[in-house]
Structure 1
Amino acid sequence: MMRPFDDATRRNIADACAAFARLPEEEAQPALKRAAVAVALTAAGEGDETALLLTMRASHLRAHRGQWALPGGRCDAGETPVEVALRELDEELGLRLTGADVLGTLDDYPTRSGYLITPVVVWAAESAAIRPNPDEVASVHRIALATIERDDAFDFIAIPESARRVIRFHHQMSLIHAPTAALIYQFREVLAGRHTRVTELEQPVFAWK
């Protein structure tokens, strides 16, 4: 379904986020380090369809270099997940947004590397202002929401190392795994009005180290 980048779409997505019954905070795992990512919505470009921003991490980074990711990072002392998501959008992409641009938050996702990631859905109206920081970002990609809503966009596979299913997002010629794939998948489900949980979706074995 084509979703134009306009006020009506913003309201619809904000309403979908508000209707989503997020898992309560007390179910979070206190031993994990807190982090947040931005599910940043902007214009796809031609036709002004709504898209989410996905980055390719710089190849020289110490951790997760060259991987697909949503903009985000670790929470500093005293920061809320919303503050982190907004700060990281500024640091990584030069997008300066405020709390007024936040549409909602999704479930926290625990990673194999010891983080608890909070996805923050934001509306980035000034997409022309995107300036990737080469210290962190190799490239920025606009993924139309119609792309993540395709029936064949995601699949789930079994692996011998875990009883949990590995989720994969098929994007162009790439396979994007959890946590990024899991968070995008839950956002897609929220758009459809479904309260689908993703915390039990597994990461590939290479992410366990």
Structure 2
Amino acid sequence: MNLMRPVSELRDWIAQHLDPLHDEAVQGAARRSDYDLTPDGWAGVETRELKPAAVLIGLIEREHGPTVLLTRRSETLRNHTGQVALPGGRQDPGEKPWQTALREAHEEVGLEPHYVHPLGLATPYQTGTGYLITPVVGVVRPGFSLTPNPHEVADIFETPFSYLMNLANYEEHERELPTGERRRFYATTHEDRYIWGATAGILRSLYERLYGAALA
């Protein structure tokens, strides 16, 4: 599928590869995680009770093909300081993942929910910080305006969807955590934006959903 085509021509194809919006990520279900490239890191965490969260993979309709809405987290946040992220956060009691994703996108970057048409849910992703994230894929129509919440977001930008869905653009990197643990992860750099960890893992797993290719 040519990802440079207008979103209006891609939306049905994308939606048929996703889970229904009413589904929920559950403990023990198939998922991707921060430990995919460091299997030994699972020791002691595989049975941990995970906190539900959701992020928005917002596909913005642009003339030269869709882009993905991304943010750079504020330097004042406690976790994942300064990292590139998809808009999202912890799921409130009673919320569906798509409701969380739209609420968080509005709170973080001012994206009004009526500009977003949710298509479905991608593969859940477990983080090393104890979250089980449900990625919500949605089409974002033009005309919106964005304002970063200074307490959460330092910057807002877009990256071409075609770039993020090209596995040749990703590498495996390694980093030592404050705990002394070494963890390998996926990373890619586009126009000086370093996209890594959970965000890169979630985007790569979306490729797997769309193209049916098993990732290493």
The interval holding the TM-score normalised by the smaller chain is 0.7 to 0.9
How far off is 1:5 after superposition? 3.3
Q: Point out where structure 1 has 5 or more consecutive residues left out of the alignment.
A: 199-209
Q: Is 1:141 aligned with 2:157?
A: yes
Contact 1:59 1:65 in 2 (8 A): yes
Aligned partner of 1:205 in structure 2 is none
Q: Do 1:5 and 1:42's aligned partners in 2 also have CA atoms closer than 8 Å? A: no
In the TM superposition, residue 188 of structure 1 has moved relative to its aligned partner by 2.4
1:93 to partner: Cα distance: 1.8
TM-score with structure 2 setting the length: 0.75
Confirm or deny: 8 A CA contact 1:3 1:9 kept in the other structure: no
2:6 counterpart SS class: coil
State yes or no: 1:120 paired with 2:139: no
Alignment check: 8 A CA contact 2:123 2:209 kept: no
1:102 aligns with 2:107: no
Aligned mates of 1:153, 1:147 — CA distance in 2: 7
Answer whether contact 1:71 1:88 (CA < 8 A) is retained: yes
SS at match of 1:17: coil
The alpha carbon displacement at 1:100 in A equals: 7.7
- Structure 2 distance, partners of 1:63, 1:16, is 32
Asked if 1:92 corresponds to 2:108, the answer is yes
Of the structure 1 ranges 136-145 and 1-10, higher mean CA displacement relative to structure 2 is found in: 1-10
RMSD across aligned C-alpha pairs, in angstroms? 3.1
The equivalent residue for 2:198 is 179
Question: Where does the alignment leave 5 or more consecutive residues of structure 2 unmatched?
Answer: 30-46
The more displaced of 170-179 and 49-58 is 170-179
Give the partner amino acid of 1:40. G
Contact 1:5 1:49 in 2 (8 A): yes
Contact 1:73 1:84 survives alignment (8 Å): yes
Pairing of 1:19-30 with structure 2 (within 5 A): 25=26, 27-28=28-29
- Percent identity, aligned pairs only, is 33
The offset of 1:104, in angstroms, is 1.1
The superposition leaves residues 83-108 of structure 1 with CA deviations (integer Å, 9 ceiling, x where unpaired) of 11010111112222269811111121
**Partner residue in 1 for 2:17:** 16
Q: Quote the offset at 1:134 in angstroms.
A: 2.4
